[in-house]
Amino acid sequence: MSWNEPGGDKKDPWSGRNEKDNPPDLDEVIRSLQDKLGGIFGGGKRGDSSNGPSMQSIGFLAAGALVLWGLSGFYTVDEGTRGIVTRFGAYVATTQPGLNWHIPAPIEQVQVINVEQQRFIEVGYRSGGGQAMGSVPKEAMMLTKDENIVDVRLAVQYQVKDAKDYAFNVLDPASTLKQVTESVQRGVIGRSDMDFVLTEGRSEIVAAIKTEIQSVMDAYKTGILITSVNLQDAQPPEQVQGSFEDAIKAREDKQRLINEAEAYSNDVVPKARGAASRIVQESEAYKEKVIAQANGDVSRFSQLLAEYKKAPAVTKQRMYIEAMEQVLGKSNNVLVDVKSGGSIMYLPLDKLVNKATEDAVSAPVPTHEPVVAPAPQAKEIRNDIRASSRERDVRGR
């Protein structure tokens, strides 16, 4: 017969409880639990007031909890970072890399700041996570000294120099740095001309911007160190790009022509200077030659004067003959002294004279002496002519 059939004992075969029994009372369950906990802490049953929780057990529990709370204050600071310890929000200390301890929360808390991480901000553009750069006209458009507008895009890299100042002195260091950069950039660009900004002045402008940004951030005590300032791009606005490119081409053509003119000047001027130097040297040589000839003439005249004083007649005759030889030696005329008329034998005098002249010209002449037709040859020709005339006179007689 089953346990729940009529006539049975109506008991639960598993618990042995009568089916007609009521479910256990909740208060009874709670009292039973309290009695068990009291037994654990050294007390008796609930109704026994003489046996409460022992002070020794409570002390052990409190000590264990205190130890666990103290161990929770250990923390590790990684290399390249600094730990900022605050007590109830006030700065206490800056901890170095390694294992450190602070009073656990809620009394003290630690904020770890990476001081070696390279952070950067973008002014005038947004890189968009590897996509093409997009200009931000509100930040990029700037007015130059000559009242032109340029589109300037700047990237600033920085790192934390002082963790305490970085954490407490400025609410948002990155936003502050961006505003300072934009302000300094507008000031530096406003002191420069457009051509200077777009061409040779880039490095100088970047250096000036970096110096001024660091000065302002140090004055604010932000704890930020500017590591580099990069001028990503500097160009005129898109609306005038075509005209600006034409101006650049014209400037390049101007520079090219200037370079060509300088090259031509460098080629011609040295040659002209060399020719001038050669002419000057030739003039100096001619001067020395003339002076030497004059000195020689003076010396010869002095010697001739001494001889003239000794024998005036002989000296006059010799000077006359030498002068006539010089004059007649350059002439093609032939004088024949014929005392009495008669038939003249034809002689090729012109050919003889020309031949003698050609031989004199073709003969090598030293460069330091003037070229003069040799008088002795002409003199021999005249002697031959006189001899032939005498023979003709003898035959005529």
| DSSP per-residue string spanning 239-266 | GGHHHHHHHHHHHHHHHHHHHHHHHHHH
Asked, for residue 284, whether it belongs to a domain, the answer is yes
Taking only the tens place, the pLDDT of each residue in 181-228 is: 999 999 999 999 888 888 888 899 999 999 999 999 999 999 999 999
**Pair 258, 147 in one domain:** no
Q: What is the pTM of this model?
A: 0.51
Q: Within 13 A of 2's CA, how many CA atoms are on the CB side?
A: 2
Residue 6 domain flag? no
Beta bridge partners of 87: 90, 108
| Residues 224, 128 share a domain | yes
d(CA 356, CA 47): 172
- Name, in order, each residue with C-beta under 8 angstroms of 15's C-beta and a sequence gap of 6 or more: none
One domain, residues 132 and 201 = yes
Confidence (pLDDT) at 357: 65
pLDDT of 212 reads 95
Q: Which CATH number covers residue 183? A: 3.30.479.30
Least confident range from 49-58, 116-125, 208-217, 315-324: namely 49-58
Q: What is the residue whose two structure tokens read 């791009």?
A: 233
d(CA 49, CA 311): 180
* Domain shared by 136 and 85, yes or no: no
**With bands split at pLDDT 50, 70 and 90, how would you rate the model's confidence at 175?**
very high
Task: Answer with the one of 327, 358, 377 that is the final residue of a domain.
Answer: 327
Q: Are 129 and 223 members of one domain?
A: yes
pLDDT tens, 290-332? 999 999 989 988 888 888 888 888 888 888 888 888 887 777 6
Domain presence at residue 367? no
Query: Does 170 fall in a domain?
Result: yes
Top mean-pLDDT range of 29-38, 86-95, 333-342, 376-385: 86-95
- Whether residue 342 has pLDDT greater than 50: yes
In a domain, 24, yes or no: no
Query: Comparing 207 with 12, which gets the higher pLDDT?
Result: 207
Task: Give the rounded percent of residues in the chain with a pLDDT score beyond 90.
Answer: 30
Lowest-confidence segment of 97-111, 139-153, 381-395 by average pLDDT: 381-395
- Are 161 and 231 contained in the same domain? yes
Is the domain of 257 the same as that of 287? yes
Segment 230-249, tens digit of pLDDT: 988 888 887 777 887 888 78
**Is the predicted pLDDT of residue 1 greater than 50, yes or no?**
no
Query: What are the distances in angstroms from CA 396 to CA 20, 241, 392?
Result: 208, 115, 6
pLDDT at 14: 46
User: Is residue 320 situated within a structural domain?
Assistant: yes
Whether 217 and 302 share a structural domain: no
Q: What is the pLDDT of residue 207?
A: 93
Residue that terminates a domain, selected from 84, 114, 144:
114
Q: How far is Cα 232 from Cα 234, in angstroms, rounded to an integer?
A: 7
Q: Are 146 and 216 contained in the same domain?
A: yes
Residue 157 DSSP SS3: strand
- Quick check: is 289 in a domain? yes
If asked whether residues 296 and 322 sit together in one domain, one would say: yes
Q: How many CA atoms lie within 13 A of 101 on its CB side?
A: 5
The CA distance from 226 to 224, in Å, is 7
Virtual torsion, Cα 318, 322, 327, 333, nearest 10 deg: 80
174 and 253 together in one domain: no
Nearest partner of 73 among 99, 95, 102, judged by Cα: 102
Q: Are 104 and 132 in contact (CB under 8 A)?
A: no
Does any domain span residue 20?
no
Domain count, the chain: 3
Which residue among 302, 327, 352 closes a domain?
Answer: 327
At 314, list the tokens: 């002989």
In terms of pLDDT, which residue wins out, 70 or 184?
184
The band of 157, judged by pLDDT with boundaries at 50, 70 and 90, is very high
264, pLDDT greater than 90: yes
pLDDT band at 371 (very low <50, low <70, confident <90, very high): very low
Report the alpha-carbon distance of residue 226 to residue 212 in Å, rounded. 10
Residues 137 and 218 in one domain: yes
Q: What is the mean pLDDT of the chain?
A: 78
Q: Which amino acid is at 171?
A: L
Range of the domain at 226: 119-238
Which pair of structure tokens corresponds to residue 280? 């000057």
